[in-house]
A and B are shown apart, each in its own frame.
Chain A
Amino acid sequence: MAELAPRRTLVPIPVTDVEDPSYFHKVVDCQWACPAHTDVPQYIRLIGQGRYGDAYLLNRKSNVFPGILGRTCDRPCEPACRRGRVDGDAVAICRLKRVASDLREDVGSGLPRAAEAKNGKRVACVGAGPASLTVANDLMPLGYEVTIFERQQLPGGLMRTNIPAFRLPAQVLDEEIAVILDMGVDIRYGTEIRSMRELLQMGYDAVFVGSGAPRGKELELPGRHDEVGETHIHIGIDWLESIAFGHVNKVGRRVLIIGVGNTAMDCCRSSRRLGGEDIRVMARRPRQYFKASPWELEDAEEEGVQIVVNHAPRRFLVEDGRLVGMEFDQVEWDEGAVHSKTVGTVRIDCDDVILAIGQENAFPWIERDLPLEFSSPQLAAVDEVTMQSTIPGVFFGGDAAFGAKNIIWAVEHGHQAAISIDNHCQGVSAAQRPAQTMRLTSRKMGITQWSYHNDYNPHGRQEMARVDLKRRFERLNLEVELGFGPEETAREVQRCLNCDIQTAFQAPLCIECDACIDVCPVRCLTIIRPDWADEEELRTRLNAPAENRSQAIFVSEALPQTGRVMVKDENLCVHCGLCAERCPTAAWDMARFELGIPYAGRPAEVG
């Protein structure tokens, strides 16, 4: 063919390495986003098949607390969910997790059991929250003797103290924690560790600090520490803890919540149940900058809580020995809400104020003259992979490690710390990490038949039924969300796009007939001469420009007939399998990707 412009030279083809477990893992957006890498599509499929127990156990393998997380997880998976890029609403992954938990049959045989013979190694954990419990969950079956020191009389940490019972019933919490403790964990309630030095002298082979971020941030404004301030101004997490243990059972009629994180949402909704009628959540910034999950905000508003934006607290107002209100600056923000200017001052009357402006770590019990280094005044220096501090054998996890995160991160920290503890006790460096593995198995059953449900269900995200607002506040611990019923579940599982069923391509089989390219409903495939300058240019030259740079581009080896390559933009693929159905040579196949995740003492295994 005569050319007008000189032909560009071919580039060395940057062939995608699909043998690297992280490539296909990344395509499974939910699993990739989950700190514990829960195999979401598979558990959703198991739910669809009515195999609730199996779905529960698959969850438990990675996230340890499916029932708890099915109600309270921060759901990093859902913003990542491919379905959100398809119709705007992620699959209700978290709620389906709860379905697996609610409907599970007896799963006793699938739960971990303590080793019959002890290995003689003793591990001490500080705090009985999700991180420490995960460490115990992973180490008890290996023969470790695990001791947990807990300052409260009940286990669970923030899962019990900071999450109100109307979101997480105590029974769910007790059940899942019991599975771990009943393996023979030596748990010492009412025991507060007051000295790291003493703890280190107690002869444990390893120490794990999972004591959370227990200090609520203060708001130092005039009036805070008056006598009145001490009784009617509360620190959010402490106040929630007092409710959880029954020390607080009422609040004034008018309540102001300062802060807009998830703790603030729990505080305002708790206030509603303790007698509060006029409840306002006061925010400095506009709504799109709130830290609270959107669904928690919606729940609060549904219960009549007012969200007030652009109000910066100025001082507490005390009159005649009584807290009467607060004064706020009314502010206006510039684009991006970086700078504000005060446009007025306003007084808002109230009876109680609850401060929910964040949490800090506090380690008054760790002597600063130990070889345990701190990276900041509040935080110990902790390795992000091994969770080890600067004292070998002393590990941190959960909120205690890097500041307040969430339960699912605490679980993952626990898993990683357990691997490190096991290494440490077996004389292996904590830095030596077991590898992830993968398996890819074809889902082909016959011509255009797959062992997964490849059809696209256009249904919108299912709403969850809740207790009627009239009845909702009858009891403090009345669970609001009722869980999905069979119909919502059936529809919601079909909204999942099966991202784990990968489009696996074998270049040597391709005859470049274009069938896959023509049939693809999202135009994510292109056959192209390898003459692009870089990936950035390649992204612009595809049949549909690949604009989502957080998503990978697959590049095949050279195709046999023309030396061109097959390129796939993973961003919008809906895993419908049509490319494989229209492929005459089976160069495309739909294959299930399973990620093998290693745990302490258990190398990665799939299936």
Chain B
Amino acid sequence: MTSIAKPQIPLLPLERNQLGLTIRDYSGSMSTLCAGCGHDSVTAAIQEALWGLSIAPYQVAKLSGIGCSSKTPQYFDSAAVGFNSVHGRMAAVASGAAAANRDLVVVGVSGDGDSLSIGLGNLAHAIRRNVRMLYVIANNGVYGLTKGQFSASADIGSRSRKGEPNLLPPVDPMLLGLSLGATFLARGFSGDKAQLVPILKAGLSHGGFALVDVISPCVQFNDHEGSTKSFRYVREHELQDIDADIIPVRGQIHSEQTPGSVTEVELHDGSRVLFRAVPEGYDPRDRVRVGSYLVESARRGEIATGLLYLDETTPDMHQVSATTQDRLWDLPFDRLCPGSAELAKFQARLR
């Protein structure tokens, strides 16, 4: 908590995006998380990505489940529609929202508990369906809201604040996503917005389910020596082999040049992701290579970050289900719900 709201300074010179809006127009209420929480940086990065892409604030649906991370949608984009779901069910609610209105920019924020424990099943099937949304896991390896128990993403051997080691293997959302056919996998660090903001922008421009795992240290319960998700540990073990940038169709272009040997992937909205540097033999579109890279780097004790995997060819939920191009609320009621006579006819066909 802060004692005051952010002062609104009238003469502050703020940059405007293509909609004529300033970053302030994408803000929410003041954070009530602990001072120094990594999640606040994730919030700030999301805010900057939405602003930078000139996405209309009211066009966003922001959803979350339960947990510290799930409080954060309150802290950005007050003009968006919001939904704070049951624990672990954000992916299901988000799928519904995306199904009902294909124009929504769906942003889900969840945590390692909400997504990798109680909500793992919901997450898995949203990945499979390739729901078009940005799904951010603010991952701190710990249940902060219940005072510091290990979560499902805690590494083996990582120690709690009282010194107790974690004995169970972690769920790595990147490997999980790869095995389920995810189409966009990226990992960032709340302490490095220079990398995180372009990742989030690419995720928002992606034509399917964009899963972004953000290591977001818990200053209260998991920022000590012996933790593998502390600011210091992540900084010492972060592997930034993959350097990708996005050239959005919307918003400002901030990549000065296109170097000679780049892997370029065009996103569904025409934005382009440029992989300016990747390790020898790495192809961000090759599941096998990406999988072995992730396993190998983890075995070396390194935390691989960057836009790790990208596939723009797999159809998203709307394409698979051949849904209407209209938003459901635009449909006349008799088309949206044709009535019991039509239902009877349909059922007769199945008999």
Contacts and interface: CB of A to CB of B under 8 A. Distances in A.
Interface of A: 1-4, 85-88, 447-450, 454-456, 458, 511-515, 517-519, 521-522, 544, 547, 561-562, 572, 574, 576-578, 581-585
Nearest to A3: B277
A87 B10 CA distance: 6
B94 to A, nearest CB: 25
Interface residues of B, number: 39
B163 interface: no
Contacts of A521: 6-9, 12
Contacts of B4: 454-456, 576, 578
Given A2-B241, A581-B2, A584-B219, A456 B7 contact: yes
B37 interface: yes
Interface in B1-52: 1-4, 6-14, 31, 34-38, 40-41, 43-44
Contact of B12 (A522, A576, A584): A522
A584 B191 contact: no
Given A512-B231, A582-B2, A1 B37 contact: no
A163 B241 CA distance: 74
Contact of A544 (B13, B232, B241): B13
Nearest to A586: B35
A449 B4 CA distance: 10
**Nearest 5 Cβ contacts at the A-B interface:** A584-B36, A456-B7, A2-B277, A1-B240, A518-B44
8 contacts: A454-B4, A512-B231, A513-B191, A518-B43, A522-B9, A578-B4, A582-B36, A583-B35
Contacts of B231: 511-513, 561
A87 B36 contact: no
Interface of B: 1-4, 6-14, 31, 34-38, 40-41, 43-44, 190-191, 193, 217, 219, 223, 231-232, 235, 240-241, 243, 259, 276-278
Contacts of B11: 85-88
Contact of B243 (A2, A87, A458): A2
Given A1-B241, A578-B2, A585-B36, A458 B12 contact: no
A572 B43 contact: no
Contacts of A578: 2, 4, 6
A427 B41 CA distance: 62
A243 to B, nearest CB: 42
Contact of A515 (B1, B36, B193, B241): B36
A448 B9 contact: no
A498 to B, nearest CB: 12
Given A511-B36, A511-B232, A514-B191, A519 B6 contact: yes
A339 B36 CA distance: 59
Given A513-B219, A561-B232, A576 B44 contact: no
A454 B232 CA distance: 32
Contacts of B1: 448
A559 to B, nearest CB: 11
A546 to B, nearest CB: 11
A514 B43 CA distance: 11
A30 B312 CA distance: 59
Given A513-B190, A576-B7, 11 more contacts: A1-B240, A2-B278, A4-B277, A448-B3, A454-B4, A455-B4, A455-B7, A514-B40, A514-B191, A515-B40, A561-B235
